[in-house]
């Protein structure tokens, strides 16, 4: 089934899918950073921020971890969301 023929996804199903993708990353460190965020404040995000979160999940785990740990600066489209996740975890 292509994206054009797929039925629209309701919000609850979308959140469940994003939680699963957040907990099933390639490295455990990212599971521990994204999974709890997905279990908590992810549900509070508006549709635009959910789309940004989906885009963030497309990035590779090594790069995501470098952003989350502060080793490198996140790319501009992801900077605000990375900062939000880091702040939620109390990472300065």
- What are the tens digits of pLDDT across the range 41-62? 999 999 999 999 999 999 999 9
pLDDT at 2 over 60: no
Q: Quick one: three-class SS letters along the chain?
A: CCCCCCCCCCHHHHHHHHHHHHHCCCCHHHHHHHHHHHHCHHHHCCHHHHHHHHHHHCCCHHHHHHHHHCCCCCCHHHHHHHHHHHHHHCCC
Average pLDDT, the chain: 93
Number of neighbouring beta carbons within 10 Å of residue 91: 13
- pTM for the whole structure: 0.86
């Amino acid at each position: 089934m292509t994206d054009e023929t797929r039925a629209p996804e309701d919000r609850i199903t979308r959140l469940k899918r994003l939680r699963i993708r957040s907990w099933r990353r390639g490295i455990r460190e990212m599971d521990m950073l994204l999974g709890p965020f997905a279990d908590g404040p992810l549900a509070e995000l508006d549709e635009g921020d959910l789309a940004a979160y989906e885009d963030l999940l497309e990035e590779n785990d090594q790069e995501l971890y470098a952003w989350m740990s502060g080793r490198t600066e996140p790319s501009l489209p992801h900077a605000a969301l990375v900062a939000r996740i880091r702040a939620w975890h109390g990472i300065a």
